[in-house]
Structure 1
Amino acid sequence: MRKILIKNALLVNEGTTQEADLLIDGERISKIASSITCEGALTMDAEGSYLLPGIIDDQVHFREPGLTHKGSISTESRAAVAGGITTFMEQPNTNPQTTTIEKLEAKFQLGAQFSYANYSFLFGGTNDNLEELKKLDKNACSGVKLFLGSSTGNMLVDDEQVLEQIFRNTELVISAHCEDESTIRHNLEKYKSEFGEDIPIRCHPMIRSEEACYLSSFKAVALAKKTGARLHVFHLSTAKELELFTNEIPLKEKKITAEVCLHHLWFSEEDYEKYGTHIKWNPAIKKSTDREGLWKALLDDRIDIVATDHAPHTLEEKDQAYLKAPSGGPLVQHALPAMMQKMLEGKISPEIMVTKMCHNPAILFDIKERGYLREGYYADLTIVNPNDPWEVKKDNLYYKCGWSPFEGTSFKSRVTHTFVNGHLAYDNGIFSKEKRAKRLTFDRL
């Protein structure tokens, strides 16, 4: 691979932003300095643009195997790379579900064949696969996923004895979807009695309510404290849940951590009237006061990571009535431009944005030699022009499902280049035909 020299970029890394040059040699970052010369290197002038570590998205649903009419590892990782995401962790609720070591390795084979971005997969815990989970090597994958709210098939873990045994029998990070199923069912019956089968979408945050989220998160955190397990709570959606998390110790020392997703930072319940089921997610988008609480916790370090929960469905599926429309939406192509928008509005600094989207996922999941711009690390990085306005339209979407909740939104920033392991995977709308992605490795002793 040819040496590539990126000059005059605004390099954001480890709490600082400075104009600097960066030299890529093969798969790795060779040198970072205020001025670099390298004869024979392909030179790119990035003056005025930000140079960031590649985004690490710890929660995506790329729908393969079994649900590829919605998306695939190939199509969705390609969209991710266009959005500056160089690494993803994919969830286990595919068909078949990733609940055995054999199925996990089959997914890794798909990643090796089809992915444009670096990849790992989460192993799904169920009510009846504890013995299989015990056999899982702690360096095999990014972690364990538990659905503590309703999910596809057999993935709802509602046996409390099994749940405690899972918490006691893995050293891996346990990532949890926390919504209390009995509360949701009770709320659903209440709204069915009022509206029948034609429940308005505006009722979604009352059905999948603050109480349902808090009760489940509270129980998960209490169990983690009881057992000493390493718990990461996915996609917080309420301000009330934030009292369960601390900012008093560094991330490396935390055993209980939290994540917020882009849609809970961007939308509020006021947006249901405009977007309808296109912004139906689980957990639900809730009040604007919840959104502001999430922003506050993100900035004061009670929330550690920003992710997407990218979960594509076809428009035909999403355009059904509330009870039939599935939850989830495509986000990987637009997460970084959306966060850059908030940065340019003064809502978040570039340094904190990079900490939450790059550094902290690498720390939390013990990812080896990624997540930072450091000499010797893999050259996963993205260049973002903060002054190149564009509008999200159907003809510039890369998702297989062909739609986005951001359609019609204008962003000021544009991802211009994305490098994966030193390879220029995306260049101003053009994708490399070569895939140089790698399976993630971990530093877990």
Structure 2
Amino acid sequence: MKTVIKGGLVINEGKKEHLDILIEDGRITKIAANISEANAEEINADGKYVLPGCIDDQVHFREPGLTHKANIGTESRAAVAGGITTFMEMPNTVPNALTQQLLQDKYDIAANTSIANYSFFMGASNDNIEHVLQTDPHNVCGVKVFMGSSTGNMLVDETATLEKIFSEVPMLIATHCEDEATIRRNTEIYREKYGEDMPIKYHPEIRSEEACYLSSSKAVELAKKFDTRLHILHISTGKETELFRNDIPLKEKRITAEACVHHLWFTDEFYDEKGTFIKWNPAVKTAVDRDQIWKALLDNRIDIVATDHAPHTLEEKANTYFNAPSGGPLVQHALLAMLEKSKEGIIPLERVVEKMAHAPADCFQVKERGYLREGYFADIVIVDPKQDQTVTRESLLYKCGWSPFEGTKFSHVIDRTIVNGKTVYHNNAIVEVGNGQRITFDR
């Protein structure tokens, strides 16, 4: 089957051009003006944007072990409904993905249930370096190190252990950076003052700028010492942005960074309205922090925009501050949120595509995805900029059934999402045409 996408405004590699795209056998075979192809299905994209599918380098889809919150099947469908065609999922499931067999178990689940393309991080702990070193860099996105609290045995904050990981692991290491000792000290202070009735607005004072910077700067120091390929996730403070450089191209960087949609959208002023629905680790902080993260994103000190999609049930989120878990669902509206910021004049459309598709592909050296190029896999999103939508609970595909964006009006809609040449989302509905693929890496 051949498919031609006709008449759309293609936004790709820093350009906006009216071009047609020919798809055959799951790949893009031609990009040109006015393609005419006999016996091809035609998709009319007139008046719409045509983008490469987004690559989300940080999600928590909760399977195995936490499937009352979410699973790979439900969340991958929410992802494609939001224009995310590829995801990279984290190891803090139950059990933690700390052995090659447990990692493979997740790949097996995805092969049977994920509608999007996928990869899974290998987890590092205090005592599994031999398993970590068996990880194949050609078909696993990276190794995840929690330098801040996590589940099970995944907190790694001893210098000797970190030095062993940073010195011996040859592939990309992605880190969650918050200093655990600082957080515990702050927690004791606020618990003594407020007890279980502590207001959510103090969350960014417990998980503070100091906690973030101490850990992020330590990770950078270790990476420089051992020439580690380091990727720091979800930067939440302006101070941390000073750790990164923008004087060399992304492909030459050994240390890279990610910003998440919630840290680019929300500030501490939203806690009164949203409460624990915007309780994340690291915390949403001040408007000044948000502005500095935007500045670093736009000047290329921060390389990637991702989601840290991490759903919990409404019942779990309704708990008091100390008992409500951190995290929230975001994959269905992340691209729409960034397109909204583009419409507001904060970021050009071309840069949205760069930060959500091109840069993740370059950062992780993803093979033949992240760009609209002849020969690449046809992972494509068509966006209608002339329709708007308001997020309602009924419109959500998340298993958890809620969103921090409920009530938000976006100025665009995802018209169609194509994964490996097949339409998987169209007319506000999932199209069940089979499963996505395990992505590979040019390393």
Give the alignment's TM-score, normalised by structure 2.
0.99
What's the secondary structure of 2:331's corresponding residue?
Answer: coil
Partner Cα separation in structure 2 for residue 434 and residue 19 of structure 1: 28
Of the structure 1 ranges 331-340 and 193-202, higher mean CA displacement relative to structure 2 is found in 193-202
Q: CA deviation at 1:197?
A: 2.0
Partner Cα separation in structure 1 for residue 134 and residue 93 of structure 2: 21
- Tell me, which stretches of 5 or more residues in structure 2 are unaligned? none
Q: CA deviation at 1:140?
A: 3.2
2:13 — aligned with what? 14
Contact 2:87-2:116 at 8 Å conserved across structures:
yes
Code of the residue aligned with 2:289 in structure 1: it is D
Give CA deviations for 1:270-298 in whole Å, capped at 9, x if unaligned.
Answer: 00000000000000000000000000000
Q: What is the 5 A alignment of 1:244-283?
A: 244-283=243-282
Give the alignment's TM-score, normalised by structure 1.
0.99
Partner Cα separation in structure 1 for residue 37 and residue 336 of structure 2: 31
What's the secondary structure of 2:161's corresponding residue?
Answer: helix
Partner Cα separation in structure 1 for residue 431 and residue 25 of structure 2: 16
Q: What is the 5 A alignment of 1:14-163?
A: 14-163=13-162
Give CA deviations for 1:290-330 in whole Å, capped at 9, x if unaligned.
Answer: 00000000000000000000000000000111000000000
Contact 2:385-2:411 at 8 Å conserved across structures:
yes
Contact 1:130-1:162 at 8 Å conserved across structures:
no
Give CA deviations for 1:10-39 in whole Å, capped at 9, x if unaligned.
Answer: 101111011111111121001100111011
Give CA deviations for 1:350-391 in whole Å, capped at 9, x if unaligned.
Answer: 111111100011111111000000000000010001110111
What's the secondary structure of 2:397's corresponding residue?
Answer: coil
Code of the residue aligned with 1:106 in structure 2: it is D
Code of the residue aligned with 1:374 in structure 2: it is R
Give CA deviations for 1:106-141 in whole Å, capped at 9, x if unaligned.
Answer: 111011000010000000100010111122222230
RMSD between aligned alpha carbons? 0.7
Q: CA deviation at 1:436?
A: 3.6
Of the structure 1 ranges 422-431 and 285-294, higher mean CA displacement relative to structure 2 is found in 422-431
Q: CA deviation at 1:171?
A: 1.6
Contact 1:340-1:386 at 8 Å conserved across structures:
no
Partner Cα separation in structure 2 for residue 357 and residue 280 of structure 1: 23
Give CA deviations for 1:249-269 in whole Å, capped at 9, x if unaligned.
Answer: 000110000000000000000
Contact 2:111-2:435 at 8 Å conserved across structures:
no
Contact 2:113-2:435 at 8 Å conserved across structures:
no
2:234 — aligned with what? 235
Contact 1:421-1:436 at 8 Å conserved across structures:
no
Q: CA deviation at 1:235?
A: 0.0
Contact 2:251-2:362 at 8 Å conserved across structures:
yes
1:419 — aligned with what? 418
What's the secondary structure of 1:196's corresponding residue?
Answer: helix
Code of the residue aligned with 1:259 in structure 2: it is E
Partner Cα separation in structure 1 for residue 374 and residue 135 of structure 2: 32
1:431 — aligned with what? 430
Partner Cα separation in structure 2 for residue 137 and residue 278 of structure 1: 37
1:362 — aligned with what? 361
Contact 2:51-2:372 at 8 Å conserved across structures:
yes
1:379 aligned to 2:378?
A: yes
Partner Cα separation in structure 2 for residue 271 and residue 136 of structure 1: 41
Q: What is the 5 A alignment of 1:188-207?
A: 188-207=187-206
Q: How many residues align?
A: 443
Contact 2:236-2:285 at 8 Å conserved across structures:
yes
Partner Cα separation in structure 1 for residue 306 and residue 50 of structure 2: 19
Aligned identity (percent) is: 59
Partner Cα separation in structure 1 for residue 339 and residue 136 of structure 2: 37
What's the secondary structure of 1:415's corresponding residue?
Answer: strand
Contact 2:139-2:439 at 8 Å conserved across structures:
no
1:306 — aligned with what? 305
Code of the residue aligned with 1:215 in structure 2: it is L
Contact 2:391-2:405 at 8 Å conserved across structures:
yes
What's the secondary structure of 2:197's corresponding residue?
Answer: coil
Partner Cα separation in structure 2 for residue 332 and residue 140 of structure 1: 23
Code of the residue aligned with 2:247 in structure 1: it is E
Give CA deviations for 1:191-223 in whole Å, capped at 9, x if unaligned.
Answer: 112112221100000000000000000000000
Partner Cα separation in structure 2 for residue 438 and residue 317 of structure 1: 33
Q: CA deviation at 1:430?
A: 2.1
Partner Cα separation in structure 2 for residue 218 and residue 93 of structure 1: 23
Code of the residue aligned with 2:204 in structure 1: it is P
Moved segments of 4+, more than 4 Å: none
Q: CA deviation at 1:159?
A: 2.0
Partner Cα separation in structure 1 for residue 298 and residue 135 of structure 2: 35
